[in-house]
Amino acid sequence: MAVEMLPLHTKRAMLEGIDNYSIIIGAYTDKDGGVCPMLAAHRCGGRTSFATFAKAWDRYTGAKNRSRPATEREIVTLTAMLEASLATDEGWDLGKVVEEHKAVRARIERELERELPNTGETDRTKELQARHGWSWMRPVRRYDDFQAALTWLEEAEQEIAERHRSGEREPERV
C-alpha cells in the first residue's frame, strides 16, 4: 500500500535509484555509501517526503537496530512492486503486455529448438508426475538453492552408504 501511495515521479526515481545506489535497510544512510530507497529516489529527482514508505520498508524487511544491505530478494520484490504500480498508474494495457511477453517467449523457444539437436529422449513428466519421488530433485530458480539441494543430496547419499556398510536397514518409506 505504501508503494501505491507514492507519487508517480517518486516511483520512477526510486527505480532509477535502485539501479544506481547500494540499497540498505534500517537507516537513512550507512558509512559505506548505502542509502534507503527513499533517499535513492530523492537523489534521482523524486523529491518527496514520505515517512510512511520508510516505516513500511523497514517493517517489511525486518529492520533491527543496525543498518544492513538489502538482500537481492528484497530489492527484486521492491522493484516488482514499483513496476506493477507504475503499470497501473500509467494505464498500461495489461492484456497487451501479456501478449507481448508470450510472443517473446514463443520466439525464444523457437530459437532454442533450432539450436538444440533432437536426442530422441522424451519428456515423461505427464506420465510420471503422479508417482511420488519420480524426479531426483525438484527444479530451483537460484543457483545457491541448487547448490544447497546438491549438498543435501550428497549428505543423504553418504548417510545411506554408511548405513549399508554397517548392515543397518533403511527405514521403510511411507
Domain limits, the chain: 2-89, 142-174
Question: What pLDDT score does 174 carry?
Answer: 47
Give the cell for residue 156. Answer: 543423504
Phi-psi sector, 48: left (phi>0), alpha (psi -120 to 50), beta: beta
Cβ–Cβ contacts within 10 Å for residue 3, how many? Answer: 20
Residue 59 three-state SS: helix
Please name every residue paired with 68 in a beta bridge, in sequence order, or none if there are none.
25
Which residue stretches of the chain have pLDDT < 70? 89-94, 113-118, 132-139, 168-174
Q: What is the pLDDT of residue 16?
A: 92
Alpha-carbon span 109 to 4, nearest angstrom: 35
Instruction: Kindly tell me the number of DSSP H helices and DSSP E strands found in the chain.
Output: 8, 2
Q: What is the pTM of this model?
A: 0.50
